[in-house]
A and B are shown apart, each in its own frame.
Chain A
């Protein structure tokens, strides 16, 4: 990175550390922090969408749709979440390949599941065997995002379902009295008004989502946990210009601090957001704001 890093053996103290922390592999570590943020940025809205779909389905008048929504919301209760992550990644991967197999190679003679093997034709492989490395990595990442979205969508669905029921009935009746149709009531009153009731649950979910990101490591993505283990391990002088003993403790200590800071910042932002959403609402918080202002 810097010009004086050409001969690390001659450096010491802070100069050595500065060079050490800017090696190519450390850049990969910093990029993987970006992977975590990217995961959060994609997963949060997707999960919210899934949750919204689940909550709307659970409120539906059509029984099969309602059962589907309620089952989806209830499915993640009682079982360790990490089991869901491990399960969905394989199940989704096999599901995609199974569908592609039936579409792309209909005349394939053998069964897909042969004893302990899962065999699909070469064209149905995802990603294709001859695609470049980045496609494999992106596919792995997309699977992880989808898994996160499904699991967290169920949690979010639970929160939104509760929030929709918490909107005061009188507000909806007022909207009906103005002659709005059911759809209009939902769009113009129910959805805008439900956020203040959903925010405590959703903010809790956001904190949980932040804390779930290290599980990416289990899903086979090269994330911060992977790089911290990789970089922190003892390095011998014959293999690297920067020999050092086992430093994994320091790397994971740094990750711990990273997550604590992230949590703290989120708490502050959510507090601000809550104050904004409570403004003028018929809740205890809104009443307190009104009195403080008056």
Chain B
């Protein structure tokens, strides 16, 4: 496998969902409605690579945390106010909701996996994608990692081909690759 395209989206903690939605408009003509921050972030990382993505692509998505605003809304509604959760918030809280929207918007027909991002996330995503590429299930693999801890970062790589590729980080994977970058809310 080799990396044929990559993206990196960075934003400050103050970046609003409205800012993310506006940025998404440059790549997607009809972005989904009532989505949460994690879905926006995953969509941005993927949409930046949209031009190179084919339908025979699998998605391997990871996030360190769920969308915190969604979790706060759900936990406070259910466990503090003893109210019914809003249906769209509950559905968005399903971890693979972000993967669903990426697959729908980009027309991906391959497997769609979500893992919790930990210290070995890139080698784990690569290992899963390699299985599907080598089995001939897909021709391309889109790997996305979302991390928000105060500021946020979304990194994406699009892989193709069946050669061996071993890497343990985004930097290693994208060495020598032109990475599409976008930044929100940082001042010099």
Are A and B subunits of one complex?
no
Give me the interface of A with B, judged by CB distance under 8 Å.
Answer: none
Give me the interface of B with A, judged by CB distance under 8 Å.
Answer: none
